[in-house]
Structure 1
Amino acid sequence: MPILGEMAKQKADAVLFLGDNIYADTHDMKVMREKYATLAKNTDFQALQQHAPIFAVWDDHDYGLNDAGADYPQRVQAQKEFLDFWGIEKDSPRRTREGIYDSVILGPEGKRVQILLLDTRYFRSTLKKSAERRVGGPYIPDSDPAKTILGETQWQWLEGELKKSAEVRIIATGIQCVPSDAGQETWANLPRERQRLFDLISKAKASGAFIVSGDRHWSEFSMTDENVDYPIYDFTSSSFNQIHPRGTPTDNQYRISDSTYHKENYGVIQIDWEKDDPIVEVQIRDINSKIQLRNTLKLSELQARSN
C-alpha cells in the first residue's frame, strides 16, 4: 500500500478512513483479527499513523461481509475488533453502545471542524433487490418507513451533534449518499433515510456541512440542491489500492466532477481560514500526489437559511 506512505508525507492534521479498511469477509473473528494484524504490520500504514491522528468508520468488508447490514450475526464481536484495532479508549461511549459512530471537533473557535463518523452498517435494514441487475448491482429504492440506515438511537445522537457549534462539518459515511441509485449500495436505496439526513441538517441549522464517502473503487464529486436547505456535496474518494476490474462508473445524475478517477487515489481537504469568506478545497490525488480532481467552495455557500 505505497499510497499510505505518500499520504504520510503530507503531514495532515487528521486522516479519515472511510471503510473497507481491511477485507475481512468472514464470520470468524480470528480471521478478522489476523487481517487487522496484517494491516498493523504494514510499514506504509505505520508511517501514516506516526504523522497524523486517524479517525475511522467501517464499510461492509471490515464490518464482516459484502453488503451486510443489521443481519450480520457477528456484528457485536466485529465492533470489538474494530475498536481494539483503532485503539479506541476503554472508557469511550463506543465501547458501551451499539454501533461505531462517533464525533470529534478539531480546531479553535472560529476555525472549528466537526467530523461526524456515521455507522451505516450496524443498524441498516435489508435492501430491496430487483430481478434485473443493473451496472452497479441488484438494489433498488425502497420507501418502506420501517427501514433504516442509521437506526433510531444513532439518529437521535446525530441530531444532538449537529446542534453543536462548528464552522465546518465533515460527515463521513462508508457508502455514497448524494449519488443516484444505480444498483449499488447507496443512501438513495432508502430515500426516506437520505431525505431525513438532509432535513436534519436544515432543522439543526447546521452550517458548513458536506459529505465524504468511499466504497465505489473510483472517485467523483456529487451535489444535490433538491429539497435541501443549501447544496449538499458528496466527495467520494476510493480506493487506496483496489482498482475495480470493470472500470465503468455507475450512472449518477448528481455528478458534478468533469470526470471520475479510477486508479489508486486519496482525498485531501484544505481549508483557507485567512480569507474573509473561508475557502474549502477538496482534491483527489493519485499515487504520486498529483491532483486529478478538484472542487472549491466558499464557506458562505454552505449556510443554513435563517428563517
Structure 2
Amino acid sequence: MKKLFSIATISTGLCAAAQSQVKSDFHQAKIIKKIAFGSCNEPKKGNSPMYEAILKHKPDAFLFLGDNIYGDTADMELLSKKWQKLGDSEGYQKLCKNTPVIATWDDHDYGINDGGKSYKMREESQQIFLDFFKDPADSPRRKRAGVYASYTFGTPGKTCQILMLDTRYFRDELPRTKGPKAKGTVGWYKPTDDTSKTLLGEAQWRWLDEQLQVAADIRIIGSSIQVLAHEKGMENWGNVPHERKRLFELLKKHKAVHTFAISGDVHFAELSKTDALGYPFYDLTSSGMTHASKGWANAKNSFRVGKSFPVQNSGLIEIDWDDKSIALSIINNAGEKVLQHPLKFSELEFK
C-alpha cells in the first residue's frame, strides 16, 4: 500500500482564531484533484470490476467507507482471515499500488451486523483493522479507541481535509420499529427522542470540534452511514437527530464552508441535500462495490437530488482548484459517470 502521509500532532484547547495551530492526524503536501470512494465490498464474490473502473479515473486517493469486508464474527482469527482475503485479491492489490487507501469501518467489518458499542470484541477488531491498513506504530489511531482519523492534502489555498468518522465504536443501541413496515421504507429503526444516546461518543465529538478548526479549503466528511436520508428506516444519522443537529451546529460554529459528506451502507447510490442552519449540505452516497439492491433504492428519501442508482458503483470527487469548483459523480463498473452534480465553491457558503 502506498504510504504518503506524515503524522501531525493535534493541538488541543484552541479557539477558532488559532486555526493554523490545529493539525490533522495525517498530512501529505501533495495537492489532490481526484478522490474515489466506495463501500459494501464482499471479497468472496470475486474480483470486483469496480477496482478497474476506479483506476480508469486515476484518483489521488481512495476512501473505503465501511463494509470493506463482511467479517460478522466474534472469532478474531476468522476475522483476520476475512481481511486477508481482501488483501489477497488482485483488484485490491492493484488499487493499493496505484493510490493511497484511507479507510474507516461499518458494521460488517467492525464485526457484527448493525453493531455498536456493545460488541464485545471491538478493541481486538480495531487492532486487526489498523494492522491490515498498516497504520504506523505512532499513529493516533493506535493510541485511542475507535478508528476515526483526519487527513489533509495540499498547500494553503489548495488544501483538502478528509474527516473519516467512526459510527460504530461508541454508538448506543437504536430503537427498532414495531409492526408492519410503512410504505416506502426498508425497516428496522426509528428516530430516538433520548438525547443521552450517542452516535460518535464524546471523545470523537471533541476531536471533530478541533478538526473543524484546521485550515482547509475543502472539507469532506466520511461517514459509513447516511447523514441526511433517514426515512427508509435503515441505520443513519436521523436515528439520533440530536447528533445530526450537533454536527450542523459545529459546521456553523466554525463557519466550515466548502464542506460536504460522503457515505455508504445502503447498497445503491444517491445524492442528498438539505439546508443545515443556513448551509447547503450535501451527502453523496456510494454503495456497493460488489452488490446492490434495486428494492432499497426505491425507498423514500425526500432529500434526494435526481435519481438513485442501484447497480455496482463507486463515488468520484473531482476538484478544479483554478475554477474553484467540485464535480460529484457516481461511476458504474465500466467507469462511466451515471450520476453527476457540479458545484461551485461559492455555492457551499452560509447564507
Shift of the alpha carbon at 1:128? 0.5
Other structure's SS at 2:172 match: coil
Verify: 1:91 aligned to 2:138, yes or no. Answer: yes
Counterpart Cα distance in 1 of 2:299 and 2:239 = 14
Q: Which runs of 5+ in 1 are unaligned?
A: none
Other structure's SS at 2:295 match: coil
Shift of the alpha carbon at 1:256? 1.0
Verify: 1:203 aligned to 2:253, yes or no. Answer: yes
Q: 1:246 aligns with which of 295, 317, 321?
A: 295
Q: How many residues align?
A: 301
Q: Deviations over 1:203-249 (max 9, x none)?
A: 01111110000001000000001x42311100001110122263543
Q: Does the CA-based 8 Å contact 2:226-2:236 persist in structure 1?
A: yes
CA RMSD of aligned residues (A): 1.2
Q: Does the CA-based 8 Å contact 2:56-2:335 persist in structure 1?
A: no
Q: Does the CA-based 8 Å contact 1:133-1:183 persist in structure 2?
A: no
- Give the residue type in structure 2 aligned to 1:191: P
Q: Does the CA-based 8 Å contact 1:178-1:223 persist in structure 2?
A: yes
Shift of the alpha carbon at 1:133? 4.9
Bigger drift between 38-47 and 2-11 goes to 2-11
Q: Does the CA-based 8 Å contact 1:213-1:237 persist in structure 2?
A: yes
Other structure's SS at 1:139 match: coil
Verify: 1:157 aligned to 2:230, yes or no. Answer: no
The aligned residue for residue 281 of structure 1 is 327
Q: Does the CA-based 8 Å contact 1:6-1:288 persist in structure 2?
A: yes
Q: TM-score, normalised by structure 2?
A: 0.84
Counterpart Cα distance in 2 of 1:122 and 1:240 = 24
- Give the residue type in structure 1 aligned to 2:205: W
- Give the residue type in structure 2 aligned to 1:215: D
Counterpart Cα distance in 2 of 1:247 and 1:157 = 34
The aligned residue for residue 216 of structure 1 is 266
Q: Which runs of 5+ in 2 are unaligned?
A: 1-47
Verify: 1:194 aligned to 2:244, yes or no. Answer: yes
The aligned residue for residue 81 of structure 1 is 128
- What's the % identity of the aligned pairs? 43
Question: 1:118-157, aligned counterparts within 5 Å?
Answer: 118-134=165-181, 135-157=185-207
Q: Stretches of 4+ moved more than 4 A in 1?
A: none
Verify: 1:64 aligned to 2:111, yes or no. Answer: yes
Q: 1:55 aligns with which of 86, 95, 102?
A: 102
Shift of the alpha carbon at 1:254? 0.6
Verify: 1:31 aligned to 2:78, yes or no. Answer: yes
